[in-house]
Structure 1
Amino acid sequence: METQRITEFPHKNMDKRPRKRPRLTWDMPPPLPPPKVVPGMYCSQEFVSNYPYSSLFYKGVTRNGSPPWRPDDKDGHYIFAIGENLTPRYRIISKMGEGTFGQVLECFDNDKKEVVAIKIVRSIHKYREAAMIEIDVLQKLARHDVGGTRCVQIRNWFDYRNHICIVFEKLGPSLYDFLRKNSYRSFPIDLVRELGRQLLESVAFMHDLRLIHTDLKPENILLVSSDYIKVPDYKFLSRTIKDGSYFKNLPKSSAIKLIDFGSTTFEHQDHNYVVSTRHYRAPEVILGLGWNYPCDLWSVGCILIELCSGEALFQTHENLEHLAMMERVLGPLPQHMVLRADRRAEKYFRRGARLDWPEGATSRESMRAVWKLPRLQNLVMQHVDHSAGDLIDLLQGLLRYDPAERLKAREALRHPFFTRDARRCGYPL
């Protein structure tokens, strides 16, 4: 795998996205019923051309072939219609979501008689290159993930009308979607423990294979099942609230899987470009010190806090403000890291030593955003009723500034936060 392919695919616009943006998972209408399948109409192929189409059944959509050729939109996204075919094998049921890479569609697999999720990558060279790297990673993960319990399973892939299409098993909503649907109300600590354990097991699995995910976040952690239950939200029971919002949803199953390996990196590749979505980005990345496996563990720490509190810890889009937030929550940055910061990061410090804050703040709003943050211990204790001490200690290990001192995934799994309650089965509702 060439390093150049990876370096052409940093998340250039990730910081400009709104944090609480609309998503498409639970809000979609009920799926269409599976189509009637005519046996023998599709021969499994990896690469699909523009199949001839026959009689129409839905607004110009073909019964057994691909739809008529359409140009992509101005950004290179595939244009589709609900109910039509994506190759004769896959029928489109609904749109599940989209991102900078392209779109994800819910489809019915006529061969396997199952519902799948298909990632349709934009017809732009750098995204196609990244998709081919992701396929390599997914296939490597699938060879080693016995039982397929840690990472989303790839079913198939093909190149269709200049779009790389990756077929996945259909999973439930992301943890971000689940939080959003609950108005960003937090998860119970025992559920956070189960989610954190699985997340660290998946990260340890990847690191054992010499792979670094580099983009861990709640959006990229999916519940295996969409089933959920309503339970009383005791924080709201004492108030008079309309629309039943004194109840919140909890997943019936805590099983999760990692997704989105489009920016996953092999250990031997270049590690000097910017990685991770802003809110989960480690300090060594911001300071230009290079990065490795520990950047994933910093992201895990940020995710655990978000699951406990319901909100991202570092809600910022600017480097200086981000570093100031870190110091507010975790204390001052180590001098040896500050002194080694690259030229782009030197401007964030006064006389090369102290962070240029609040003097360098861009606005009073920015200053307020930093000053309102509590210390890590206080933040956890605001939201966690028991196990707070163990969780604080775990987070202090995951959020150590120096990546060399940060907990490794398997070390974190041996932490008392997980081992002290090892006899628990599931989580109380």
Structure 2
Amino acid sequence: MASLLRRFPWPSRSWKPIAFPTSDFARIPVDQIIEEEQLPDYRASRYYPVRIGEVIRDRYQVVGKLGFGATSTVWLARDLSGRRHVALKLFIHSASMGGQLDNELNMYKRMKERGSRFHPGRSAVRELLDSFDVEGPDGQHRCLVHPPLWDSVLTFLHRNPVRRLPKPVLAGVLQYVFLALDFLHNECSIIHTDIKADNIMLGIGDDSVFIDFEEEEQRNPLPRKVLDDRTIYLSRELGMPKRLGAPVLCDFGSAVYGDVEHREVVQPSVYRSPEVILQAPWDYKIDIWNVGCMVWDIFEGGHLFFGHDPESDTYRSRAHLADMIALLGQPPQHLLSRGNLSSKFFSDKGEFQGGIPVPDPITLEEIETNLDGEDKEMFLRMMRMMLQWEPSLRSSAKELGDSRDAAAMEVAEPNLSSLALQNARRSKLLFASIPAESPRKKLKLTQDPAVGEQREKDALSVRLHAEYRHLQALPPALAQKQANAASARKKAKKQPASEPAANPDDQKAQKLIEGIAEKTPGAQEPSTALVQIRRPPPGANTPHTPSQALSSARAQATQQIKPEWHPPWKLMRVISGHLGWVRALAVEPNNQWFASGAGDRTIKIWDLATGNLRLTLTGHISTVRGLAVSPRHPYLFSCGEDKMVKCWDLETNRVIRHYHGHLSGVYTLALHPTLDVLVTGGRDGAVRVW
């Protein structure tokens, strides 16, 4: 009900603007690159200089920054006239957008003109509340006003430790995606062309998160960088709502009209349909193929088609087609006859001639790992309804939504809000809970002078129990080996201290010791050894047997020289700049610089002598977990939770190679010191040698 009421402005007295702090905040150094500045083509003059507390068009007061992109920034605002919170999407100035600026607005206009208000898919498409142009110092900027939404499905996916959507949550998301596509295709004649987990967002069912956002910005304003002509703010996330709304399909910047013929290249590369690759005429069915590839991604935890070319080591259409052939077989001749580029990849007989081998044939049954039995059959049946070479053989969005297989996945009309909240809290439940058998329950803390020390012992005990409770018993072989060693030591202690007979080994040791003594007569030469043998002075009682001499020599040899005193280690410098936990560090072999990787998805290169930031590398889409600098080449290797392993050329500051293969996050990597060999390891339980 709350999300429904937010759509309509209230006729009562308008809200008054509220005050936000203008001085009591942390200032980010001017030379530090943050937020949209990290984008490759960033130019400050393109962006509208938004200020928190500013009232735009005498109606929308900016509360805080929600995010940014290559073409826009998104802000939470108070609709003073409508007495509600909204999201403002402020685009870069119109001269930089060209015809793309009007495209998204035209799609919303068509939805309003053609779409029925009573279609069930209307609410599954993001609503446009208002649009206008605002004048900036460097030109006009288009502003779109939407209801605020929570996380995207992609961000929501990263909150789950296994990086996969559970079956009931997937069913709820698909239900609304099919409704949205049915509304767009049949009511509005619109093809989305860019369906991915990042463009499906979850609604918000209560207003408490907006009030909390406001109060937090007033109490604890986020750090910002203040420049002469603008202020660049850090983004703040909306809190976890008490109730989640339904999934909503967003971002119509790449959408096209479906009632005209199309042959242009669209869609994300790994989701690209065969008719788009071959430049054959395409229609609404490319969205169906797109959904099929995305579903596999978010449910199975990896791409269905990679399109990774073995020669160029990057995405290429011929590799993508080869992947399709391995899974779906040869394409039909009717499809090839319509493609402008078919002759580039196929012979007249329909045989693949892309210049690379086709992978070994594989089936969906072989690569599906989450389901069993009837559930698996129904899921794969639904996938085959979407993944067909021939577009006419793919089911429509309405047919998919009404299909028995899709309905069977819903599991008795799941409450998507409760399932999503449960899934989002899964990390906390996994990693923050205390085991039932924790010794903490057996401890009784008393308030005495040693309470601090006792608490530390308690905490250590809990951590040890939680981390090592499965490793408290040694493997049988190692336990037997240690038992044998302990038994031998006990027997040696019980033997009487009788004078043993000399043996050849003792005689050799005696000669060795005497030889050392003979080589150091008179004056003692300075030694650089860490451990020196201390010889008794003349006239001292010395052992008479070779065994005793050897034991004495060994005991004296263990006496280390007293080290020279030096001042304690001192903290030289504190370097800040990352916006997330620093997870990886690597120092360049020549001691000129070092690199750091963090949860903000960036890699920063720092000058080792001064601590100044030299460079920021962007490319990972999740936390950077490992770094390694090559001692033989000007290369930096990185890995992250996005399953990516990258090789950066530090002469051009760009990625020159990707290593594909890990099925989950990559958490560590190491370089061979003398060979061109890279080793990586990740959460998929595999170590890969490259």
Confirm or deny a common fold (TM above 0.5): yes
Contact persistence 1:330–1:376 (CA under 8 A): no
1:360 corresponding residue in structure 2:
356
Q: Could you tell me how far apart the structure 2 residues matched to 1:405 and 1:131 are?
A: 35
- Deviation, 1:270, is 4.2
Deviations 1:82-117 (A, max 9, x none): 444444422333333333432222222222232211
Q: Output the amino acid matched with 1:94.
A: G
Contact persistence 1:339–1:352 (CA under 8 A): no
2:371 corresponding residue in structure 1:
384
Contact persistence 2:94–2:101 (CA under 8 A): no
- Deviation, 1:422, is 6.7
Q: Could you tell me how far apart the structure 2 residues matched to 1:158 and 1:168 are?
A: 12
2:345 to 333, 342, 348: 348
Greater Cα offset, 104-113 or 345-354: 345-354
* Residue correspondence of structure 1 range 199-348 to structure 2 within 5 A: 199-209=177-187, 210-225=189-204, 253=244, 255-316=246-307, 317-343=315-341, 346-348=343-345
1:144 corresponding residue in structure 2:
116
C-alpha distance 181-314 of structure 1, shift in aligned 2 (>3 A): farther
Contact persistence 2:61–2:77 (CA under 8 A): yes
2:70 is aligned with 1:79: no
C-alpha distance 425-322 of structure 1, shift in aligned 2 (>3 A): same
C-alpha distance 180-313 of structure 1, shift in aligned 2 (>3 A): farther
Contact persistence 2:124–2:246 (CA under 8 A): no
- Deviation, 1:128, is 5.3
1:94 corresponding residue in structure 2:
64
Contact persistence 1:139–1:154 (CA under 8 A): no
* Residue correspondence of structure 1 range 24-103 to structure 2 within 5 A: 58=22, 73=43, 76-103=46-73
Contact persistence 1:338–1:352 (CA under 8 A): no
Contact persistence 1:339–1:353 (CA under 8 A): no
Q: Output the amino acid matched with 1:379.
A: I
2:146 corresponding residue in structure 1:
168
Q: Could you tell me how far apart the structure 2 residues matched to 1:89 and 1:122 are?
A: 21
1:182 to 157, 160, 164: 160
- Deviation, 1:355, is 2.4
Q: Output the amino acid matched with 2:391.
A: P
Deviations 1:125-169 (A, max 9, x none): 473533333223224434524485211111111101211100000
Contact persistence 2:125–2:180 (CA under 8 A): yes
Q: Could you tell me how far apart the structure 2 residues matched to 1:206 and 1:153 are?
A: 13
TM superposition score normalised by structure 1: 0.69
Q: Could you tell me how far apart the structure 1 residues matched to 2:351 and 2:47 are?
A: 45
Q: Could you tell me how far apart the structure 2 residues matched to 1:115 and 1:414 are?
A: 35
Contact persistence 2:134–2:143 (CA under 8 A): yes
Of structures 1 and 2, the larger Rg is shown by: 2
Q: Output the amino acid matched with 1:335.
A: Q
Q: Could you tell me how far apart the structure 2 residues matched to 1:308 and 1:207 are?
A: 25
Question: How many corresponding residue pairs?
Answer: 337
C-alpha distance 77-310 of structure 1, shift in aligned 2 (>3 A): farther
Q: Output the amino acid matched with 1:360.
A: I
Q: Could you tell me how far apart the structure 2 residues matched to 1:251 and 1:189 are?
A: 22
Q: Output the amino acid matched with 1:384.
A: L
Relative contact order, CA 8 A, sep 6+: which one is greater?
1
2:109 is aligned with 1:113: no
- Deviation, 1:398, is 0.5
Q: Output the amino acid matched with 1:280.
A: Y
Deviations 1:208-259 (A, max 9, x none): 12221121111111111389xxxxxxxxxxxxxxxxxxxxx99965721111
2:651 corresponding residue in structure 1:
none
Give secondary structure in 1 for the equivalent of 2:131.
Answer: strand
Contact persistence 1:96–1:104 (CA under 8 A): yes
Deviations 1:329-375 (A, max 9, x none): 332322332343214x5333356732235x437xxxxx9xx67x953
- Deviation, 1:275, is 1.5
C-alpha distance 395-39 of structure 1, shift in aligned 2 (>3 A): closer
C-alpha distance 294-114 of structure 1, shift in aligned 2 (>3 A): same
1:130 corresponding residue in structure 2:
100
- Deviation, 1:296, is 0.8
Greater Cα offset, 161-170 or 128-137: 128-137
TM superposition score normalised by structure 2: 0.44
- State, as a whole percentage, how many aligned pairs show the same letter: 25
Q: Could you tell me how far apart the structure 2 residues matched to 1:306 and 1:145 are?
A: 32
2:171 corresponding residue in structure 1:
193
Q: Could you tell me how far apart the structure 1 residues matched to 2:362 and 2:99 are?
A: 42
